[in-house]
């Protein structure tokens, strides 16, 4: 009986030893790797609070008005159904052509955007986007 109890005790101690050795061998490196990967991800993304859009530099309130050669100016008034240029309502495709022609005719053309009340904001964005695509960077924004 005593021998049986001793054997059981030995078995228990052996089982405990095996369990402890398993605990000791628990590998934390995968958790560390994962943590580092996530850490790098958050470090990178936290500095990317970016916004995409179209830039416009406003003139200073103290700046004086400049005179520009009329030949350099392409006068465009966005409307709901197109763009009014020289009294003619044209679509996006023809506006691109008009911009390209202006670029061929003069150096550094300027687009004079005449916005009026009632015109949706997206018409301005469309016009700014087209002028950016056509590489005309000088824009004058007028609001009546």
Site residues for other proteins per CB under 8 A: 28-29, 31-32, 35-36, 38-39, 42-43, 45-46, 49-61, 115-126, 128-129, 132-133, 141, 143
Rounded to the nearest whole angstrom, what is the least distance from the CB of residue 6 to other proteins in the complex?
30
Q: Which is nearer to other proteins, 61 or 81 (CB)?
A: 61
Rounded to the nearest whole angstrom, what is the least distance from the CB of residue 4 to other proteins in the complex?
36
Cβ–Cβ < 8 Å for 120, 80:
yes
Q: Which is nearer to other proteins, 12 or 89 (CB)?
A: 89
Cβ–Cβ < 8 Å for 99, 134:
yes
For residue 136, report the phi and psi dihedrals to the nearest 5 degrees: -105, 105
Rounded to the nearest whole angstrom, what is the least distance from the CB of residue 90 to other proteins in the complex?
19
Question: Closest Cα to residue 102, out of 90, 114, 111?
Answer: 111
Q: Which is nearer to other proteins, 60 or 66 (CB)?
A: 60
CA distance 93 to 121: 20
In order of 16, 83, 120, 126, the CA distances from 79 in angstroms are 83, 5, 8, 11
How do 82-85 and 138-143 pair as beta strands? Answer: unpaired
Q: Which is nearer to other proteins, 90 or 124 (CB)?
A: 124
Rounded to the nearest whole angstrom, what is the least distance from the CB of residue 107 to other proteins in the complex?
23
């Amino acid at each position: 009986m005593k021998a049986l109890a001793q054997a059981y005790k030995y078995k228990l101690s052996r089982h405990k030893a095996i369990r402890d050795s398993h605990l000791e061998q628990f590998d934390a490196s995968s958790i560390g790797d994962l943590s580092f990967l996530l850490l790098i991800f958050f470090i990178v993304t936290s500095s990317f609070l970016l916004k995409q859009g179209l830039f416009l530099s406003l003139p200073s309130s103290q700046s004086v008005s400049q005179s520009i050669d009329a030949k350099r100016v392409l006068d465009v008034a966005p409307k709901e159904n197109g763009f009014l240029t020289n009294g003619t309502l044209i679509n996006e495709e023809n506006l691109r052509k008009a911009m390209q022609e202006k670029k061929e005719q003069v150096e550094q053309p300027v687009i004079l955007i005449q916005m009026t009340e009632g015109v949706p904001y997206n018409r301005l964005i469309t016009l700014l986007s087209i002028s950016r695509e056509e590489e005309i960077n000088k824009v004058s924004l007028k609001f009546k």
